[in-house]
Amino acid sequence: MNIEPRKAGQLCLLIEENISHVMVGKEDVIRKLMISLAAKGHILLEDVPGIGKTTLVSALAKSLDLNFSRIQFTPDVMPSDVTGYNMYNPAKAAFEFHPGVIMTQLLLADEINRTSPKTQSALLEAMQESQVTVEGQTYELMQPFMVLATQNPIEQVGTYTLPEAQLDRFMLKITLGYPNLNEEMAILGRYSEDNPLDDLKPVASAQDILWLQDQVRYVYVSDAIKRYISILSARTREHPELELGISPRASLMLMHAAKAEALLSGRDYVLPDDVQNMLLPCWSHRLIVKPEGRLKQQEPEMILKQLLREIRVPER
């Protein structure tokens, strides 16, 4: 297949600039959002309320003219609210399927750690297989499809820790963070009269994203880069302060994220820099530090940075 990295990079830049009309000072977050979308991944956003998570996803949906749904997770949300359910219709003497919120292209799952593990797991099949099964019947989801789930910081009261199986299905974990002084002043000025989101126009389409995702598949990854990822992965599994290391699925996700990073940077091949840039957002939420490591105030990000310093970087 003929790869067009320059065209892909220009498309990404066009979308990012459009989203930046409503998101001030979040260029790095927007780029990671595009990387995950191009690599067919899902994003976990850990941040406090009011930072702009809904605005970010709404801006992406508008920029691409995609279907967008949002669900606010609470302890009483049921799995059927996510996937859908069958209800008997007396007029037709038959059961009819009522689609859940998952039947969309972009899903904002807000405060996912405020609902029960049973409801959290309702997202698993959809995130992995792009389909849902309700009472034995399988329904394909629209493409492209991406889940952007938010969660409150773990120290907040009334939260349910996401199980490892579900954490492993998120390609990237990112935070928006508070704006600095100049950024907050710009936000106040930009939103003082109207909401710029209302005037946002599509600059690309679902077909453009499907083309972009197809392009990512053919980005070249050398054996040296694959070995680099494998060594990083193996070192997490044998690290003395880690209870849970990196799975092969996580290694694959890192490779796909690095391929998307390379393509959106205008290249048809992966560099070690692409792997290093994606390592922390791709792996930090998958590592579990042992209690003795936590006593030493060890964090997954610190351990990953240490591995990057210790492991020899391949030529290419």
Q: Average pLDDT, stretch 216-239?
A: 95
What pLDDT is stored for residue 47 in this prediction? 80
Evaluate whether residue 316 is within a structural domain. Answer: no
- Domain total in the chain: 2
Q: Read off the pLDDT band of 191 (50, 70, 90).
A: confident
Cα distances from 143 to residues 27, 31, 35, 138, 253, in angstroms, run 25, 20, 16, 16, 19
Across residues 172-192, what is the average pLDDT?
89
The pLDDT, as a whole number, for residue 10 is 93
Is-contact 257 282, C-beta < 8 A? yes
33: how many CB neighbours lie within 10 A of its CB?
26
Residues 26 and 129 in one domain: yes
Task: State the CATH number of the domain containing residue 59.
Answer: 3.40.50.300
Residue-wise pLDDT tens digits, 19-51: 999 998 899 999 999 999 999 999 998 887 888
Widest Cα–Cα separation across the chain:
69
Q: pLDDT for 231-273, tens place per residue? A: 999 999 988 888 888 999 999 999 999 999 999 999 999 999 9
Residues 234, 273 within the same domain: yes
Instruction: Write down the pLDDT at residue 298.
Output: 73
Residue 154 has pLDDT above 70, yes or no: no
Top-ranked range on mean pLDDT: pick from 33-42, 76-85, 158-167: 33-42
What is the CATH number for 238? 1.10.8.80
Residue 315 forms part of a structural domain: no
Domain boundary residue among 195, 213, 231? Answer: 213
Q: Which of 213, 247, 264 is the last residue of a domain?
A: 213
Confidence at residue 129, expressed as pLDDT on a 0 to 100 scale: 83
User: Tokens representing 192?
Assistant: 């003082």
Angstrom distance (rounded) from CA 215 to CA 40: 12
Query: Mean per-residue pLDDT for 161-167?
Result: 80
109-127 pLDDT tens trace: 988 888 888 888 888 778 8
* 273 shares a domain with 184: no
Helix residue ranges, H only, 65-198: 79-83, 117-120, 124-129, 164-167, 181-190
Domain housing 300: 220-310
Q: Are residues 83 and 191 in the same domain?
A: yes
Among the three residues 213, 237, 263, which one is the final residue of a domain in this structure? 213
Please give the pLDDT value at position 156: 61
